[in-house]
Every structure is written in structure tokens, then in C-alpha cells.
Chains A and B, each alone.
Chain A
Amino acid sequence: MHNSFLLVLVVLIAIGFDFTNGFHDTANSVAPTIATGALKPRTAVLLSSTLNIVGAFLSLKVAATIASGIVSQTSVILPVVFAGLTGAIVWNVITWYLGIPSSSSHALIGGVVGAMLAHAGGSSVLWGGLTTKVVAPALAAPTFALVIAALATTLSRRLTSKSDDATKSRGMRTGQIGSSALLSIAHGTNDAQKTMGIVTLALVANGTLADNAATPKWVVVVCGLTIGLGTYLGGWRIIRTMGQGFTKLSPTQGFAAQITSSVVILSSSHFGMPLSTTHVAAGSILGSGVGTKKRSVRWAVAARVALAWLLTLPAAGTCGALSYYLAHAMGFSVGDVVTGLITIAVCAFIFRLSRRDRTTPENVNDEWGGHSEVLEHVKEHSHETTGVSA
């Protein structure tokens, strides 16, 4: 099927997803570095952004074809990919607004599965593959990371009990910069390639590229730069949750958490079962809190994040399915333009909402107020709108 117009739309929306993927996942590699003061916020995201771009160019093997082994590949058509991407973008932006670190990969898979269900019904989804490749790793990733980071933090804390605090803090902060860099490179190779895979698949599906053709250079450049730009703009709301919300991080905890995240991600990729960077990073930070003497973890924040993880597949899937139905009803070319515009409008609305309660590099490290922080905001807002103090 040759439809250059639809192809351009898919490429544009894929680049949009790549951007949200970058700013949504910045927290994974920089949150502990910023929380402990190892690097200033702007410096941390600049380093991470640069290394994400480097990572995107390091390896050009497109390992991840979209939702491979999860949906029937022969049934994938461009409108399904388009609808899946819109579902993933909307869910990414909603969770960013709520400051929740959720998996961009799961959002993408959820969006595509939802669109496939709308397009070809339940038989087009490989439910066994969904369990093997998504559900089981989603349970394993945070659990593994939590246990390992707790063990590493406990050992490190006990071993450094006699060291002087100044040397210990400086040493651990230096180590954090190295581990953050490694994590950023790993993210660039894995996640930028995900979008490269989508764009390449769209080009092949449209007949623009031959089957098994190499990824064009412009795709590599555009995807690498886009994820780098998204990372640089930084999802400060999620960085705040990861760096301050789960636990109060010390340099020792931050270092243990980041080393654990890097190693778990690389090890799982080595065995051909890539785990979600977000799930691993969140699990590691929680584990580093468990490894402290007082076991200081805000489990209420962790529970809220876990709930969002459970909702990611069905929520992104619902958005993907709705997007597909709407586009189908209006005719795909016109319908995809309309759903694309709706997606942009939803993102703009949420962005506007976020301006009322901004998280910036200047306040990202403020003391965590948890629920009371939210209540204060509600009180202030109520006072502004009604003139009555709540």
C-alpha cells in the first residue's frame, strides 16, 4: 500500500513519541545525580542528553521491531502504528503531568495492542507473547532492582561507616556521574532505536524501503537528536518524584541505585530480555531506601506509581483503540490528521495545566511534601478562585 501522505504523518507522530520518550525518561538516569547534588540540574540533563545522542549513534542494529512477538506482524498497517503512537504519547504526557515514572515502551506496546484489537480483533494479539515479553518482565524488573540495590546500599553503608564523611560524599558523587553517564548511553541505544525501528517499519510497509533494508542515516540522525532534545528539556516533574519522592537520597544510596540500574539493564539486554529502564530505575531507588538504617521509603508514593504501571497497558490501549476507530470512521488520511490534531490539543491542554504548578530546575530539589504538598496547592487554588481560604 503506497500512501506517502500517511507515511509522513506516521513519521511525524513517531518523532513526537521519540521526544516524549526523551523527556519522560530523563529522570531514570539523572534523578539521583540531581537529588544528591552530584551535578547541577541543567548540567545533569545536558550530560544525559549528549550521551543519549551518542548512544543512538553507537549501535545501528534495529533490534526492536514494533511490538514484535506481541501482535501479528502481518496485520500491522500504517494507521495501526499511527493510532498506537498517539495512545502512547497521550499516556506519556498524562503521567508526566502527574509526575509518575511509567514505561514509555509499555505505553507504546499498549497503544499498538489497543489499535490492533480495534483493527483486527483479539486473534491478532499474541497473548502469550504479551505475558512473556511485557507482564513477566514488568514484575521482575522493579523486584530485581529493589533487592539488588538494597543489598548494595547496605554493604556500602557498612563498609564506609569509618570513612570520613567529606571524602565519602565526594567519592560517591563522582561515582554517580560515571554511573549516570553509563545509564544515559544505554538509554540512547535502546530507546532511540525503538523509534528508528518504527520509522523503518513504516518505510518498509509503505514500499519506500525494501524488506530487510538498513535504517536510513536521516532516520538515525533525526531520532538521535529528537530523543536528545527531549532529554535536555527534562521531565522535571518526574525527576522530582524519582529524586525526592521515593526516599531522601544520600550520595551512597544514589551511587548504589544508579550502578544497579545500569547493570540490571545491560545484563537483561545481554540475555535477550530487555527490561523497562523506568521500572528498573524506580526499583533501584526504592531499594536504596530499603538499604538505609531506618528503611526510609515513602511507600504511598511507590504504591501510586505501581498503580500507574498497572494502568499503562489498558490506558494507552484504550487511547490507541479510540484513535483507530475515529480515524477509521473518517477515512484514514483525513482521520489521522484529525486524531493527530486532537493528540496535539490534548498535550497542549495538559501542558497548560502544568503551568499552574511548575516544577523547574530551581525547585526540583525542594523538600518533598508528599500529600500535604498537594493539599497546600489545592488550598491556594481554592483561595484564588473562591476568595475563601480552605
Chain B
Amino acid sequence: MNTLAAASAGLIKWGLLGKILLLSTGISVGLVVLFTLAVNALSAYRRVGASVAAKGTSAVLGVLASALIAATLVWGLYYIVHK
């Protein structure tokens, strides 16, 4: 395995590929989890019979998650325009 890595080092940029994998995994999984939390919060907020405290917590969580998603998307668009 080490021999293969050494032989291909000049042609394949392993470090760069590793960075892409790490950054992509972090942002993708982060966004999907945030969005899922926002959907869960909405579902909990709408649940019949939920207490006021539970509804309040769900609302705050939903707004926070949505804001983080929006911020990430704005960054994405900014990046596309100014890269």
C-alpha cells in the first residue's frame, strides 16, 4: 500500500483529495443534519397536545437551524460569485 502511495505521489495529489473529502463531508453532513433538525422541530411544533415549553424549544431550534442553513447557502453563493 505504501509503495503504491509513493509511486503515485507525483501524479495523484493525495493531500488535496483528503482536504476535499474532509471539507465536503463536514459541510454536507452538517447541512443535512441541521435541515433534519429543523424538519424535526417543525414536526414537534405541530404535534397535537405538545406543551408550550416543548413548542417553544422546537421553535427556537427550528429558527436556529434554518438561520445556519441560510448562512451556509449565502456563503455558497458568495463563493460562486467571488471565487
Contact = CB atoms under 8 A, between A and B. Distances in A.
A151 B25 contact: yes
Contact of A159 (B10, B37, B76): B37
Given A163-B40, A167-B46, A171-B38, A140 B76 contact: no
A259 B79 CA distance: 16
Interface residues of B, number: 36
B12 interface: yes
A59 B80 contact: yes
Contact of B79 (A255, A260, A266, A268): A266
Given A132-B13, A266-B79, 14 more contacts: A148-B28, A152-B32, A156-B36, A159-B33, A160-B36, A160-B39, A162-B40, A163-B44, A171-B39, A189-B80, A263-B24, A264-B24, A268-B20, A270-B83
B25 to A, nearest CB: 5
A182 B79 contact: no
Nearest to A143: B21
Interface string A128-146: 1001100010001000100
A266 to B, nearest CB: 6
24 contacts: A58-B80, A59-B80, A136-B12, A148-B21, A148-B28, A151-B29, A155-B32, A155-B33, A156-B33, A159-B40, A160-B39, A163-B40, A164-B47, A168-B39, A175-B35, A255-B35, A259-B35, A260-B28, A262-B76, A266-B76, A267-B24, A271-B19, A271-B23, A273-B13
Given A144-B20, A163-B40, A55 B25 contact: no
Nearest to B47: A164
Interface of A: 55, 58-59, 128, 131-132, 136, 140, 144, 147-149, 151-153, 155-156, 159-160, 162-164, 167-168, 171-172, 175, 178, 182, 185-186, 189, 255-256, 259-260, 262-264, 266-273, 275
Contacts of B44: 163
Nearest to A55: B80
Contacts of B73: 178, 182
A148 B29 contact: yes
B68 interface: no
A128 B76 contact: no
A-B pairs, top 3 by smallest CB distance, nearest first, are: A171-B39, A163-B43, A152-B32
A148 B11 contact: no
Given A59-B80, A144-B21, A167 B43 contact: yes
Contacts, number: 127
A167 B43 CA distance: 6
B53 interface: no
Interface in B6-32: 10-13, 16-17, 19-21, 23-25, 27-29, 31-32
Contacts of B81: 58-59
Nearest to A268: B20
Contacts of B24: 144, 148, 260, 263-264, 267-268
B4 interface: no
Nearest to A275: B20
B82 to A, nearest CB: 8
A155 B29 contact: yes
Nearest to A269: B83
A336 to B, nearest CB: 35
Contacts of B11: 128, 131-132, 136
A171 B65 CA distance: 13
Contacts of B20: 140, 144, 264, 267-268, 271, 273, 275
B1 interface: no
A136 B35 CA distance: 32
A184 to B, nearest CB: 11
Contacts of A151: 25, 29
A256 B77 CA distance: 19
A162 B58 CA distance: 14
